[in-house]
Amino acid sequence: MRIPLHVLAGIGIAASSLSAQASQRYSISGSDAAIYNLAGAVKVGPAAGTAVVVDVTRGGRDAAQLKVDTGAIGDRQTVRVIYPDDDLVYRAGQARGNWNTSLDVRDDGTFGDEERHGRRHGEAGGRRVRISGGGSGTEAWADLVIGVPKGQRIAVYLAVGKVTATNVNGDLRVDVSAADVTSQGSQGSLAVDAGSGDVRVSSAQGTLDLDTGSGNVAVSRSQGDDLRVDTGSGNVDLDGVRVRTLSIDTGSGDVTADSLYGDDLKFDTGSGDVRVGVVASATPSSIDIQTGSGTATVALPPGFGGNVVLDTGSGEIDLGGIAVTVSRLENDHIEGRIGTGTGRLHVETGSGDVRLKKS
């Protein structure tokens, strides 16, 4: 059968139209914005002008079933990718394989920000959605490219996939259920909350608040007033960090801080070694290290001076050639003073050695 030319032309136009719809742009204005997407790769970067721009590219066999809604929810302007089913399949990128994650999703496509909906933590409301790397279900996801104007406040919510942020200048919050988050060159405040996944931050300027239930956290070549890291299980690695206050809390995992510059430094791990190296030009006012199980090693700068308390439930104490004027000495406990400064050094291990070194 011969198909008329005008019919072929019509088919071509329809196919072209569908292809064009695979990537769509949305623009929202206002000083506070939020983006919601259950599955996909999200890239966040700078944008000119005053509006947040979101390019949405649908993927998967059932991509055409995805809908995108915009508009204000509470005091925030939003872009929301709406998924039609409670059982989703995400086969793209590193997410392939035998895995699944579940979360509560409201009818408007929002999730993960319970406090804004008058609910306590864990009371999300909505329907239960399961996302897996294979099997049956609606196979669809959306990759997003988000352009953020300077000084913008924006929150990005993603269930599974990955988030990459580059050179964002503003107030950025990233909330993921199971995804890796990478940020480079941020200016302003950066907050990351990950149920599971690694968090990597480099060349940041501003306040950092990084929280992951399970996953490693790495921060390098960054500076700002405050840095807080909280992980249920995972290693924490800091390199070339300069902050006023530092708080590291991990349930289990090693903590390593090299070339560290700060005033108030706190490290707490349930189990894991802690190694802290303070740069020679720094004179922190307080260093507090506690580990339930693990060795604590501190490299002190030449200018450090102040009161010292070193305690180990089961382990040895090594002063590493640092002169300490001892006021109390026991097998597993030393109190004393280094130099004439006003600083404070407190190191306590439940089981493990305490070691001092010269930086």
pLDDT in tens, 226-284: 999 999 999 999 999 999 999 999 999 999 999 999 999 999 999 999 999 999 888 99
Alpha carbon of residue 185 to chain centroid: 14
Percent of the chain with pLDDT over 70: 89
pLDDT of residue 95: 55
**DSSP code for 272:** S
pLDDT of residue 145: 98
Rounded to whole angstroms, how far apart are CA atoms 84 and 65?
A: 7
pLDDT of residue 164: 98
pLDDT of residue 94: 55
First-to-last alpha carbon distance for the chain, in angstroms, is 84
pLDDT of residue 22: 62
pLDDT of residue 21: 44
pLDDT of residue 124: 52
Q: Which residues pair with 201 in a beta bridge?
A: 183, 219
Residues of the chain under the 50 pLDDT cut: 1-21, 117-122
Q: Where are the alpha helices (DSSP H) in the chain?
A: 5-21
Using only the alpha carbons of the chain, give its radius of gyration. 25
Task: Give the pLDDT confidence of 91-137 residue by residue, as tens digits.
Answer: 886 555 688 999 999 999 999 986 554 444 445 568 999 999 988 99
Locate 174 and state its tokens: 């990233």
- At residue 225, what is the residue type? D
